Chain A
Amino acid sequence: DGGITQSPKYLFRKEGQNVTLSCEQNLNHDAMYWYRQDPGQGLRLIYYSQIVNDFQKGDIAEGYSVSREKKESFPLTVTSAQKNPTAFYLCASSIGGQGHSYEQYFGPGTRLTVT
């Protein structure tokens, strides 16, 4: 059964701690993305990767880091430098990594709460 998995579904951390969110896909997609969604708002792009060992900053990359060592995995680290980390984080993938002509498949999301 192909798809994208994100874990955990809920994550609680203390302020000042780094935290890593997992994203795995078995769709054999080249491109992967991380978005952040705040209550009542749309999605904002944090980072994207068009191919293994390559990734690019999105609109709100400050305070976040990523790696893409394997095609199926794209973990996101929320660092202590991120001033407002509490949010709903969504990972997505697509066949191609260039532009919007490719359908994005989304994971179920991780809701991060930092206190």
Chain B
Amino acid sequence: LAKTTQPISMDSYEGQEVNITCSHNNIATNDYITWYQQFPSQGPRFIIQGYKTKVTNEVASLFIPADRKSSTLSLPRVSLSDTAVYYCLVGGNTGGFKTIFGAGTRLFVKA
């Protein structure tokens, strides 16, 4: 299972775009890249998932370069309510199921 590396924490201001990068150098061919958001004392919530290039939904965009060894979660115009921990996961449909939710990136949005 591919190990991921993310910054421990990030600060931003309301209205700014925030980009959180995740490194996954040993990503396998069948692996997907998934991002979750977690607020204190709640379960994580799915944000976005991708395999290659760019994926966009109503809350975020996910940029994946051609070599897929990293990915960037982009949150447009963050608000105070986006203060949370963001987890990057990498895994696929083969080789059994294991989950690695690392420590994630703690994003703090200031007014």
Contact = CB atoms under 8 A, between A and B. Distances in A.
Interface of A: 4, 33, 35, 40-45, 48, 50, 56, 58-59, 88, 90-92, 96-101, 103-109, 111
A43 B99 contact: yes
A43 B93 contact: no
Given A43-B44, A90-B43, A99 B103 contact: no
Majority secondary structure, B binding face: loop
Contacts of A41: 103
Contacts of A111: 41
A99 B93 contact: yes
B92 A45 contact: no
Contacts of A100: 31-32, 34, 89-93, 97, 99
Given A42-B104, A56-B97, A99 B43 contact: no
Nearest to B48: A103
Contact of A98 (B36, B90, B93, B102): B93
A19 B95 CA distance: 32
11 contacts: A41-B103, A43-B44, A43-B99, A48-B97, A56-B97, A59-B98, A97-B97, A99-B32, A99-B97, A101-B92, A108-B43
B45 interface: yes
A103 B42 contact: no
B4 to A, nearest CB: 10
B43 A109 contact: yes
Interface in B28-56: 30-32, 34, 36, 41-46, 49
